[in-house]
């Protein structure tokens, strides 16, 4: 029985980890007043660049950084289009996703079918072998432990750091922030790059740890779920953490249900995470006042500096 519980919890953790990285990165981006719908494309580019790096160099560390930098590089394209050329954030984000899907498929066409052993797991002699607790807490890779720390770091940053307060001020009123001397474009650029880096890390985790290989479109809609998670969590890091594990649990639930041979078509079971996403968004949208109260006031609005 313990083995079943451990296996279920471990799979939920692995399913939630890429959602956490992508959603927290997007949350920081949106806190600055920018809506980037290109998360899916950045995840895929991070995945293929991470896997290509580990395949040609054998270094998992370099691969993780390659995924991070790939997501950041793609997000910089979005930043240039929306911050300096004042392009539509929605259209640019969608174009970024389409571009990321196509570019990742092109870069990874010779990597399909190649396997990787996966990122090394933490092993502490005498502790990892402790029944139940050991496998649950001390048998993960570095990116999983990073996903535990990141929500706490983001929450502290937004609530207690000066830079976090400035970021929130820019997202709530970019004109007022500009009037008192803050560089709105620079702050938003940093937020966009951070969001891209986290999406790239999410992609690197997918191809280096979750399913250590490269497959076209292996993100399977996780970028869109991450976008929904930000709204579901009302732009709060703690709720993003809980939401990621909720959606991760739903993903794993449908896999276990298929394994048990429940008499429901596999296609319907595979739809569960996305049906849950739609249901959550519908329920949240019913309370528009709550969304307006928590959402950055300037989200999606272009900034036109007057001087």
Q: Is the pLDDT of residue 282 over 80?
A: no
| C-alpha closest to that of 222 among 10, 30, 36, 40 | 40
CATH number (3.40.50, 1.10.3470, 1.10.287, 1.10.3110) of 2-119+127-294 reads: 1.10.3470
- Alpha carbons 186 and 4: distance in angstroms, whole number: 49
Check if the beta carbon of residue 13 is closer than 8 Å to that of residue 144: yes
Q: Is the pLDDT of residue 1 over 60?
A: no
Q: What is the pTM of this model?
A: 0.92
What's the confidence (pLDDT) of residue 74?
97
More confident residue, 169 or 136: 169
Q: Is the pLDDT of residue 243 over 70?
A: yes
Say whether 242 sits in a helix, a strand or coil. Answer: helix
Least confident piece of the model among 84-93, 114-123, 218-227: 114-123
Say whether 56 sits in a helix, a strand or coil. Answer: helix
Say whether 115 sits in a helix, a strand or coil. Answer: strand
What's the confidence (pLDDT) of residue 260?
65
What's the confidence (pLDDT) of residue 257?
66
- Alpha carbons 42 and 65: distance in angstroms, whole number: 14
- Alpha carbons 13 and 205: distance in angstroms, whole number: 12
Q: Is the pLDDT of residue 99 over 80?
A: yes
Q: Is the pLDDT of residue 307 over 60?
A: no
- Alpha carbons 43 and 74: distance in angstroms, whole number: 10
- Those residues whose C-beta lies under 8 Å from the C-beta of residue 106, and which sit 6 or more positions away, are none
Domain locations in the chain as residue ranges: 2-119+127-294
Q: Please compute the mean of the pLDDT values over residues 82-95 and round it to a whole number.
A: 95
What's the confidence (pLDDT) of residue 251?
74
Check if the beta carbon of residue 43 is closer than 8 Å to that of residue 71: yes
Mean pLDDT of the chain: 88
């Amino acid at each position: 029985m313990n083995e079943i519980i451990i296996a279920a919890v471990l799979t939920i953790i692995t399913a939630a980890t890429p959602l956490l990285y992508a959603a927290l990165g997007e949350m920081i981006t949106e806190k600055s007043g920018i809506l980037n719908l290109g998360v899916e494309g950045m995840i895929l580019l991070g995945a293929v660049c991470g896997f290509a790096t580990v395949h040609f160099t054998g270094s998992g560390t370099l691969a993780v950084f390659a995924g991070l930098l790939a997501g950041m590089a793609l997000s910089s394209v979005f930043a240039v289009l929306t911050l300096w050329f004042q392009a539509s954030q929605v259209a640019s984000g969608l174009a970024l996703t389409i571009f990321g899907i196509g570019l990742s498929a092109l870069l990874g066409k010779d990597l399909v079918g190649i396997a990787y052993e996966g990122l090394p797991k933490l092993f502490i002699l005498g502790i990892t072998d402790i029944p139940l607790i050991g496998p649950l807490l001390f048998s993960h890779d570095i990116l999983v432990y990073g996903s535990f720390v990141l929500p706490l770091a983001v929450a502290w940053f937004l609530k207690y750091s000066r830079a976090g307060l400035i970021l929130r001020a820019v997202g709530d009123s970019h004109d007022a922030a500009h009037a008192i001397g803050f560089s709105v474009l620079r702050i938003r650029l940093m937020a966009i790059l951070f969001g891209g880096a986290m999406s790239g890390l999410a992609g690197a985790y997918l191809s280096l740890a979750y399913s250590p290989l490269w497959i076209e479109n292996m993100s399977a809609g996780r970028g869109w779920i991450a976008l929904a998670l930000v709204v579901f969590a009302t732009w709060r890091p703690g709720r993003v953490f809980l939401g990621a594990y909720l959606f991760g649990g739903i993903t794993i639930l449908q896999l276990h249900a298929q394994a048990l041979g429940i008499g429901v078509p596999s296609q319907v079971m595979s739809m569960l995470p996305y049906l849950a996403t739609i249901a959550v968004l519908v329920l949240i949208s019913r309370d528009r006042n709550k969304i307006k109260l928590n959402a950055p006031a300037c989200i999606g609005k272009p900034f036109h500096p007057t001087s």
